[in-house]
Copies of this chain bind each other. A is one copy, B any other.
Amino acid sequence: MKQKISLRVIRRISFYYEALLKLDLPGDDYISSKQLEEITGVSCNQVRQDFFYLGISVGKQKKGYQVKRLFKELKKILSIDKGAEVVVIGAGRLGRALSEYKLFRIRNINVRALFDKKPELVGTILELKEKKIPVLHIDKLGEFLKENNKIKIALLSVPDSVAQEMLDKLIGFGMKGIVNFAPRILRLPENAKDVQLINDCIGASLYKIVYQIYNKQKK
């Protein structure tokens, strides 16, 4: 079981997790699929289906799901405890925005360092509430990754003109997961099919809204 969980399921799991986090209920309280629907917008049928699919069975008829145990299950699926260490390539506005994104902290995703080549950025330090993240020179990337060999994920926020080249470099350094935010579709080289690449377009959802504004559809 648990063979292939799609991003859609993962996203909904995140929703449930964040809902519980926000509610901050006592652990011995219960929450029903109907209540989760009200908070997250995911239908109660979908909620139950997801839990069933993922093998989460912490529900009690008539009451709902025990918050404490549900929380634990969701946490496990999302690997919150294990967390993740990542590097951000490109320390422009987007790279820095990513590094401080609050949801990453909630999800225990730690940006260990940013990399850039601009002299005015290299050597600076990004100060977040609880930690400092250095901006290092891109030439130091290989060395850094060798010293910090737990890091297997990179976020790519460089100009589109150098994105493909950087992707190849990252694969060469042994990265296993790469999210590309550069405004260009990147493709994996043939010899790197074990690497996860996701082209994540910032604000792609905006395009849908633009489309709909101009194509008002009767309900």
Copies of this chain present in the complex amount to 2
Interface pair A200/B203, CB less than 8 Å apart: yes
In A21-62, which residues have CB < 8 Å from any B CB? Answer: 22, 39-41
A63 nearest CB across to chain B (Å): 24
The CA-CA distance from A149 to B90 in the complex, in Å, is 37
A201 B11 Cβ-Cβ under 8 A: yes
Interface residues on A, range: 35 or more
- A136 proximal to B (CB < 8 A): no
Tell yes or no: A213 within 8 A of B by CB.
yes
Please indicate the chain B residues that have their CB under 8 angstroms from the CB of A73 in the complex: none
Docked pose: A4 CA to B208 CA in angstroms? 11
Q: Does A3 count as interface, using CB distance less than 8 angstroms?
A: yes
A93 contacts B102, C-beta separation under 8 Å = no
Among B18, B93, B109, B209, point to the contact of A206 (Cβ < 8 A). Answer: B109
Is A78's CB under 8 angstroms from B177's CB?
A: no
Q: Is A129 an interface residue (CB 8 A)?
A: no
Residue pair B198, A208 in contact (C-beta under 8 Å): yes
Instruction: Report the bound CA distance from A116 to B183 in whole Å.
Output: 26
Q: B15, B86, B202, B211: which contacts A97 (Cβ < 8 A)?
A: B202
A78 to B102, CA, bound (A): 32
Chain B residues lying within 8 Å of A213, measured Cβ to Cβ, are: 84, 152-153, 176-177, 196
Please name all residues of chain B whose beta carbon is closer than 8 Å to the beta carbon of A10 when the two chains form the complex: 207-208, 211
Smallest beta-carbon distance A21→chain B, Å: 10
Task: Report the minimal beta-carbon distance from A91 to chain B, rounded to whole angstroms.
Answer: 11
Q: Footprint of B on A, CB under 8 Å? A: 2-5, 7, 10-11, 14-15, 18-19, 22, 39-41, 77-79, 82, 84, 86, 92-94, 96-98, 100-104, 106-107, 109, 152-153, 155, 159-160, 176-179, 183-185, 187, 196, 198, 200-215, 217
